[in-house]
Structure 1
Amino acid sequence: MMPALLSPETGSLSCPPAEASAHAWMPHSPCGPSCVDAPAEAGTLRVAARIAGIAGVLLSFPIAHYATPRRRRAGLQRRYARALLACCGIRVRIVDNRAPDDRREGGVLMVARHIGWTDIVALTAVEPVSFVARADMVEWPMLGDVAKRVRVIPIERERLRQLPSVIATMADRLRAGERVTFFPEGTTWCGRAHGRLRPALFQAAIDSDTPVQPIRLRYLDRAGDLSTIPGFVGIDSLADSIRRVLRSKGVVAEIALQPQLLPDTDRHELARRCEQTLEGDTVARAFTDVIHGSEHLEAVGTGADRRAEAPRATAGK
């Protein structure tokens, strides 16, 4: 495993260069264990309580799902996502940078960078959506059942011939007024370095004439600095990642809803505009919400954004 590199320009840690991919479109992340922070160890009793809480949430969700009328299931998913995050010891801070017109009803293609399995839970805690996710996620213990309930759109990125079908499914759901989320980097990065936004799945917004909602998702520690503890990268197994999250303390998932983008006709240009929005230095406004505990954290402004920025690494095409 290649170690993290020290940037000669900034003196900050960055990821090593990407290795060759299986094919030209196949996304690749060079992030690995050397990118991930060591968690501030939570006590044994706290970890045991978190495990018990997670088991209770995941086991009760299917029962609650079927017992809840269809029109109320969106709220149920949001509440269960919040409960699951609370059991993991992760608080959520929501920052709304959208324009007033962006809050209208209807289909929206939601786009975020991808760090780990907690991303899906954190984004569902804001607003229930369906996700484009790795096909084998539905086979994961317990979490796979949750994936089925939130109607994950499976994708196998090794199989390029699947793309038209996935795009068509996304566009159909968007036309029906649903909100669909995908991670255009195509794989997970540690959160300090980022990959290119691959343009292929942006075609669903163009085909359905649906706006795109960029979401800046990042994890912070108690000091407000970027945390890579939730990163699911390199040789990590799901058990490794879950174990690290359960042992952590003081992690906050910050979700900033950025102004929406109109699709236009070029997916490459749409991906470029979305990438600029995700990397922009914006001033937070509107509201802040913290899940798990009564502490209210300040919305992040330009100064905090700069402090948490790190060198950006880009995977090859």
Structure 2
Amino acid sequence: MNARPHAWLPAASCGPTCISAGSETSSRRAAVICRVALRATLTIVLLPTLPLLAVPLPGRSHLQRRYCRVVLRCLGIRITVSGGPIRNVPGVLVVSGHVSWVDVFAIGAVMPGAFVAKAEMIGWPGLGALARLMKVIPIERDNLRRLPEVVHAVAERLRAGRTVVAFPEGTTWCGLAYGPFRPAMFQAAIDAGRPVQPLRLSYHHRDGRASTAAAYIGDDSLLTSIRRLVTAQRTVVHVRVESLQLPGEDRRDLAARCEAAVRGTGTSAVTARGQRHALAA
């Protein structure tokens, strides 16, 4: 998944070692079978209701939030939200670190909007249909020439008062490590003159330890990622709402400010460090 045919293409250093570092102790086989059976049944029951997200009814954003929470629950994930209030401001660019396809549901449960996601996601069974219903803005990560078109599309959505969600790292990381925010997508907020809402996402076991159960990295297939998630005892995703950031005029400064908010560090520290690997701590 994280092949790097071009030098400019973002790539994470995460791999199997990261997954084992954030894994949990094994459960009894019978308990695992029961969990998987229950979660698979709930997911199958939920799938036929997907088209409801495309119905232009009043309060659709509330329906999307509830739906995403139900999807998380079916996958064995609980969600907690903390931090500042969610501002009811039209045309906001939402940014966060990127760990997994699960991020879409975690953020959708808090601030639903149109996601900027890799183009191949549109072709995924089940999730691809949901991506189309949620009006995902596809980005071809290996085609730099198409990036201005994506930035323009995001800016147009923001000008129209829509919420757009982007992952500025450009690729997924394990949750124990992370990469720098790329500034390109922040140009859309500057062009549209709209604020940016940073969210801090983190995945944990029930005892509070960092979890890699939701990670989608390296050579993971979607099936492998789902299997690891649904067999876990329980995963908790924490979503912290950070301070709203005004766009300013410099996309690199805006990217640095938002990254500092997401990491919980000072702007100067984020700018200076480049990439930081949490496993080295």
Matches within 5 A, 1:31-180: 31-36=14-19, 37-39=22-24, 40-41=26-27, 42-62=31-51, 64-65=52-53, 68-98=55-85, 103-180=87-164
Counterpart CA distance in 1 for 2:161 and 2:170 is: 24
1:214 aligned residue: 198
Counterpart CA distance in 2 for 1:272 and 1:20 is: 26
Measured at CA, do residues 238 and 160 of structure 1 come closer, stay the same or move farther in structure 2, by a change above 3 Å? same
Question: Could you tell me which amino acid in structure 1 is paired with residue 248 of structure 2?
Answer: D
Question: Quick one: which of 166, 179, 182 aligns to 1:195?
Answer: 179
- What displacement does 1:276 show? 1.2
Measured at CA, do residues 243 and 261 of structure 1 come closer, stay the same or move farther in structure 2, by a change above 3 Å? same
Deviations 1:193-235 (A, max 9, x none): 1101011111000000111111000001112121111000111
- What displacement does 1:123 show? 0.7
Deviations 1:250-285 (A, max 9, x none): 210000010011111111111111111112269xxx
- Name the TM-score, length of structure 2 as normaliser: 0.88
Question: Is the CA contact 2:23–2:211 (under 8 Å) kept in the aligned structure 1?
Answer: no
Question: Is the CA contact 2:177–2:276 (under 8 Å) kept in the aligned structure 1?
Answer: yes
1:273 aligned residue: 257
Per the alignment, in what secondary structure is the counterpart of residue 130 of structure 2? helix
Question: Is the CA contact 1:33–1:236 (under 8 Å) kept in the aligned structure 2?
Answer: no
Per the alignment, in what secondary structure is the counterpart of residue 177 of structure 2? coil
Counterpart CA distance in 2 for 1:196 and 1:187 is: 10
Question: Could you tell me which amino acid in structure 2 is paired with residue 38 of structure 1?
Answer: S
Question: Could you tell me which amino acid in structure 1 is paired with residue 168 of structure 2?
Answer: P
- Structure 1 residue runs of 5 or longer lacking an equivalent are 1-18, 283-310
- What displacement does 1:71 show? 2.7
Counterpart CA distance in 2 for 1:134 and 1:177 is: 23
Question: Could you tell me which amino acid in structure 2 is paired with residue 30 of structure 1?
Answer: S
Equivalent residue pairs, number: 263
- What displacement does 1:133 show? 0.2
Counterpart CA distance in 1 for 2:68 and 2:180 is: 28
Q: Cα RMSD over matched residues?
A: 2.0
Counterpart CA distance in 1 for 2:113 and 2:216 is: 21
Counterpart CA distance in 2 for 1:90 and 1:165 is: 35
Question: 4+ residue stretches of structure 1 with deviation over 6 A?
Answer: none
- What displacement does 1:312 show? 2.3
- What displacement does 1:140 show? 0.6
- What displacement does 1:25 show? 2.4
**Counterpart check, 1:312 vs 2:267:** no
Measured at CA, do residues 238 and 20 of structure 1 come closer, stay the same or move farther in structure 2, by a change above 3 Å? closer
Question: Is the CA contact 1:58–1:146 (under 8 Å) kept in the aligned structure 2?
Answer: no
- What displacement does 1:105 show? 2.5
Question: Is the CA contact 1:220–1:252 (under 8 Å) kept in the aligned structure 2?
Answer: yes
- Structure 2 residue runs of 5 or longer lacking an equivalent are 267-274
1:15 aligned residue: none
Question: Could you tell me which amino acid in structure 2 is paired with residue 195 of structure 1?
Answer: G
Question: Could you tell me which amino acid in structure 2 is paired with residue 221 of structure 1?
Answer: H
1:262 aligned residue: 246
Question: Is the CA contact 1:116–1:230 (under 8 Å) kept in the aligned structure 2?
Answer: yes
Question: Could you tell me which amino acid in structure 1 is paired with residue 79 of structure 2?
Answer: V
- What displacement does 1:33 show? 1.6
Percent of pairs with identical residues? 46
Counterpart CA distance in 1 for 2:149 and 2:58 is: 28
Counterpart CA distance in 1 for 2:184 and 2:84 is: 26
Per the alignment, in what secondary structure is the counterpart of residue 178 of structure 2? coil
Counterpart CA distance in 1 for 2:231 and 2:73 is: 13
- What displacement does 1:249 show? 1.4
Question: Is the CA contact 1:197–1:271 (under 8 Å) kept in the aligned structure 2?
Answer: yes
Question: Is the CA contact 2:113–2:165 (under 8 Å) kept in the aligned structure 1?
Answer: yes
- Name the TM-score, length of structure 1 as normaliser: 0.79
1:22 aligned residue: 5
